[in-house]
Structure 1
């Protein structure tokens, strides 16, 4: 009996010893299909090499950025198994020479090999790297959720008012958002802690993300916060003095073409945190790089002007934000782990909320809220 869906069957390379081994089921069973299946199982588990054909259907465009596009993929395989993935295709046109493109694709390929083994909840899973006609592609986890800039989209949030029951609408505007239309401090700091955890893991394996920003941070439908898009990540042991990242979120030293350090990621996380607490951008997105840098050099003394009065009165929160947003990298936290769980880290503010009975199950609340946002976005 031939195997089902033969066109998808693995291609095996077997040794002579494997081919000559008897099948013990031939002595104990009359079920020829079972005997055949065991033969195939034996061959698979003993094969020296295994090649499985991978066929995907493109379902939609998930996003477009400066490095290329991200496509949604669907794979239909045996037994009606349907899986969903994301594929980032790297655009060579942004490079001045194909040689530069190849060097970057090689860097990303090595990085994927490192990150694939991590499987950390706060980092998007990167599965493998592939090339087609010289074009680099990276297969990734497909996240069903919203990026932070989408979470902060006030129009999308307001669109929930009519379909929700009044009590449910009131609940989300008490637990997720505040009267200033920014995220509640507990939710914003929950997100910040998960971002810091993801950054810390990335730093521990020797990489600087270099592009921490709201569109590169997603919250999935279960409330799990994930860092995505490692296309600009560079080895921490060999940092560069080049412009990497997005103007609004890069650290001052990056604007000044100084060496990147892990603290450069912490600065970007600090900008994201302040935006979450403020409810939007701190400065016009069309502002020139020169003016953005001037703004950042003065920002540590003006943090309070972007916060609600009750947050300005929290000296611990103000100190954490000042350290994350310090102009000098040496004045920032020594690591993302210290910023999260250190003696003066963000966890202490969550402890304050717990003592004041203002704490909640942030992940569960985000799961409930995002589930409704996603439902009504696709309705």
Structure 2
């Protein structure tokens, strides 16, 4: 079947013939050309580029293309096997319709290299937004009155980096929980929750991206992908990831974005496990009551996300949002205390105030947190210290 339309006008009487021919063939074919516009990110699995899907009469929509690198694999067969598993998971995720989860649109193979096509998310990831450079840029750009409101309602100085106000942070958490709930209902575990994989759209909504490390509980891989800094202790100890593992990762992110402190940065493998097993003892010093409004309810929420025993965490993402001591409970207490609650609008305005040029010029082209694989039931964690440094 020809794929090129003639530039000459077609008689109206012939159009119906072409239409009927397409219907009768039960087949459509067209070229799938994608041009790389710019690099969106570089990580342990490969590179993500901004591209476009083009159609007739100037139709053009942006898409994100993730090219999976073969460098981390011992052989071409191992690469192909892993890509086959990711393709199956991607197909499952593509069927999930959840506003806060990135939409997977295709998974293709070109010149023996596998590529995932996803929706392009118009916004910025949390890792890039919560930097001193972004803090300085917004401070210099807005009025003193607006800056005071941003500091009161959105983000302010933290210990090591800018931090989000608790209400805003929990609003983002709740939208991430909605995405995780949709994944978990389909027996998919994200396995790589980290600030770089949470996007804030210009609409003010959050969206979880990058399902390249996700696993299907019905088709488990031999190796367990994770980013050590944000991985649950049971995963670091060689156990299988579960929905509670994703919740723990989200809890670690919540701690970081509310305090502006990265508690697990620069720790080696054995140190990471110990720190996460002892995390409940450390929380009170990270959240002094005089600095954080309603710190006791916030502590209850965080406790049930990051508890070292998975059985003591929330039993599901839905429970973490709507259950007792969940995120919704915390938000209701903020409203009763007359604290600001127009989170979506505040986030939308904040994202609008970020200079696009700062990011488009390559200031966030790489992911500082490396995603690695851990083998199930590791008995001697010390063997992995050098490869699991964050």
TM-score between both structures, scaled by the size of structure 2: 0.85
- Answer whether contact 2:288 2:295 (CA < 8 A) is retained: no
C-alpha contact (below 8 Å) 2:178/2:317 kept by paired residues: yes
2:195 pairs, out of 214, 236, 251, with 214
Q: Is the 8 A contact 2:251 2:305 kept in 1?
A: yes
Matched, 1:163 2:128: no
Q: 1:72 to 1:319 in 2, by over 3 A?
A: same
User: How many pairs does the alignment contain?
Assistant: 353
Q: 1:102 aligns with which of 76, 80, 86?
A: 80
Inter-partner Cα distance in structure 2 for 1:376 and 1:75: 23
Aligned 8 A contact 1:242 1:257 in 2 = no
Q: Is 1:330 equivalent to 2:308 in the alignment?
A: no
Q: Deviations over 1:328-368 (max 9, x none)?
A: 11111110110011132110011011111213221111111
Distance 1:102 1:376 in 2: 38
Which of 312, 316, 334 is matched with 2:297 structurally?
316
- State the alpha-carbon separation in 2 of the partners of residues 57 and 331 from structure 1: 48
Where does structure 2 lack aligned partners over 5 or more consecutive residues? 362-390
How far, CA to CA, are the matches of 1:279 and 1:7 in structure 2?
Answer: 54
CA distance in 1, matches of 2:288, 2:17: 69
Counterpart contact for 1:240–1:259, Cα < 8 Å: no
Q: Which moved more, 1:309-318 or 1:263-272?
A: 309-318
Deviation at residue 279 of structure 1 after TM alignment:
1.3
2:348 to 367, 371, 374: 367
**Residues 95/188 of structure 1: CA separation in 2 closer, same or farther (3 Å cut):** same
How far apart are 1:33 and its partner, in Å? 3.5
| Contact 1:91-1:135 within 8 A present in 2 as well | yes
1:185 is the counterpart of 2:166: yes
* CA deviation string 1:144-200 (max 9, x = no partner): 211111121122121122222222222212211146442111100001111111111
The CA RMSD measured in Å over matched residues stands at: 2.2
Q: Which residue of 1 aligns with 2:386?
A: none
Could you tell me which residue of structure 1 aligns to residue 96 of structure 2?
A: 118
Among 208, 218, 240, which residue is 1:227 paired with? 208
1:274 and 1:196 map into 2 onto residues whose CA distance is: 15
Q: Is it true that 1:305 corresponds to 2:285 in the alignment?
A: yes
Matched, 1:279 2:257: no
Distance 1:314 1:239 in 2: 39
2:174 and 2:211 map into 1 onto residues whose CA distance is: 19
Cα deviation for residue 213 of structure 1 reads 0.5
Q: 1:340 aligns with which of 290, 315, 321?
A: 321
- Structure 2 CA distance for partners of 1:33 and 1:356, relative to 1, 3 Å: farther
Quick one: structure 1 residues 209 and 35, their matched pair in 2 at CA, closer, same or farther if it must change by over 3 Å? same
Deviates more, 1:297-306 or 1:177-186: 177-186
With 185-194 and 272-281 compared, the bigger mean Cα shift is at 272-281
Identify the residue that residue 66 of structure 1 maps to in structure 2.
44
Alignment match, 2:336: 355
**What does residue 225 of structure 2 align with?**
244
Is the CA contact 1:263–1:333 (under 8 Å) kept in the aligned structure 2? yes
Question: What's the offset of the Cα at 1:99?
Answer: 1.4
- In the superposition, the TM-score normalised over structure 1's length comes to 0.87
**Shift in Å at residue 59 of structure 1?**
0.4
